[in-house]
Structure 1
Amino acid sequence: MKTPLPTALHKAIEHIQKFRLWTDEERELSMLQTLAEHPSPEEIWVFGYGSLIWRPEFNFQEDRLATLQGYHRSLCLWSSVNRGTPEQPGLVFGLDVGGTCQGKVYKLHDDNIHEQFRLLWKREMPSGAYIPKWIRCETMMGPITALAFVMDINSHAYVQGLTREETVDIVLNATGSCGPCPEYVLETANALAQASINDENLFELAELIKQRIAKP
């Protein structure tokens, strides 16, 4: 297995130098502000586009396939906690600007919303690299407003311009508190395929990762 390419490591230097975990107080404030901004608090929906599709970890009443306009799924976020370390960051999905993204929306149960959101924030917002937004999503049963974790393109954790080879090398060499980075990418690709969600770029990347893993 190759080590990450020097160019890829160079692109991670700023993130490695500036990485900082959010405090519990920072996460709580962000969560409360986001809930307060909900335009229709009687229904709480969450849009999943990565691991939330195959490991939501919250109670939900209903799920639907959904399409989000103006953003696309991308491995554009350095992960120094869940799927990497500060010394060897991995990559996780973010909603990057432009295009469309197909995923799933989940309608949460009304009880214990704050506790469910605290768990969600602990998982998705360890360092505040996402911007939580309430965004209109299209479903077969009509439009809804759902919470989506959008990439903060001004964050030092934002990465773009990686070649496919660089991306594969980074993914193969990273492991974090939630497990190996290759598992994360492959499980997401598999979950999308099972849900009949087409993401050719991700499927091609997943095949390259599997080929590299299979090499002696």
Structure 2
Amino acid sequence: MVADTRAINRQHQPLPDQGHHWLFGYGSLIYKADFPYFECRPAAIHGWKRRFWQGSHDHRGTPEAPGRVATLIEAPGVRCVGMAYRIPPEALGPLDLREKNGYLRLTTPLRFLDGGEGRGLVYIATADNPAFLGPAPIPEMARQIASCSGPSGPNSDYLIELARALRALGEEDRHVFALEEAIEEFFPHSTGVVRP
């Protein structure tokens, strides 16, 4: 089910207008920055883990066959690495549109991997949104990802590109990499990862 959060996010102005905001990306925002930004820096947020538990009815799937995309789940003591972008305020409208299917814009402390801290925005799809799919066995999730496609392309491309981007950041994400390995059953050699 599609869950349009644009109106809620427009009402939520969590940071003072200072000419820019930091935005933390942990899914496709790591590798697909189709919005204006001043700079980007690898960063991490703490207390969250990345999971393919959110349904995508508008980008990587359809209302009839939703794909699976990343969201964040609270996990004390866990660090999630991604990319932080310093964006102008006018980028929020297009980002709200891009993340409209269940994602709420929240604020979070950021730690930049090259040193320093800040406060930024992050889009999180929580378990109470109608598009939330929740956990499932890895083979089942991989099968769904392999079979779904939407206006932004195949769901499998989303997963494969995210895995590549995380490797480029030097990040080990067991959940993402387990899904990537499982999807090779459906698309042999598609990931380009050499396994021992």
Match for 2:81 among 82, 99, 102? 102
Tell me the distance in 1 between the aligned counterparts of 2:2 and 2:138: 27
Paired residue for 2:97? 122
Identity within the alignment, %: 27
Out of 87-96 and 193-202, give the one that drifted further.
193-202
Pair member with larger Rg: 1
How far did residue 105 of structure 1 move?
0.4
Amino acid paired to 1:188: L
1:210 aligns with 2:176: no
- Larger fraction in helix: 1
Identify the match of residue 77 of structure 1 among 54, 69, 87.
Answer: 54
Q: How many residues align?
A: 186
Matching residue of 2:192: none
Q: Does 1:148 pair with 2:148? A: no
Structure 1 counterpart of 2:132:
158
The answer as to 2:168 corresponding to 1:191 is: no
Indicate whether 1:132 and 2:109 are aligned: no
- 2:2 touches 2:130 (CA, 8 Å); kept in 1? no
Per-residue deviation at 1:100? 2.3
Deviates more, 1:75-84 or 1:191-200: 191-200
Give the gaps of 5 or more residues in structure 1.
1-18
Question: Which of 176, 184, 193 lines up with 2:150 in the alignment?
Answer: 176
Aligned equivalent of 1:57: 34
Coordinate RMSD, CA, aligned:
1.8
Distance 2:2 2:186 in 1: 32
Name stretches of at least 5 consecutive residues in structure 2 with no aligned partner.
190-196
Letter paired with 2:108: I
Q: 1:120 to 1:87 in 2, by over 3 A?
A: same
Question: 2:67 — aligned with what?
Answer: 90
TM-score by length of 1: 0.79
Q: 1:177 to 1:40 in 2, by over 3 A?
A: same
Is the partner of 2:165 in helix, strand or coil? helix
- Scaled by the length of structure 2, what TM-score is found? 0.87
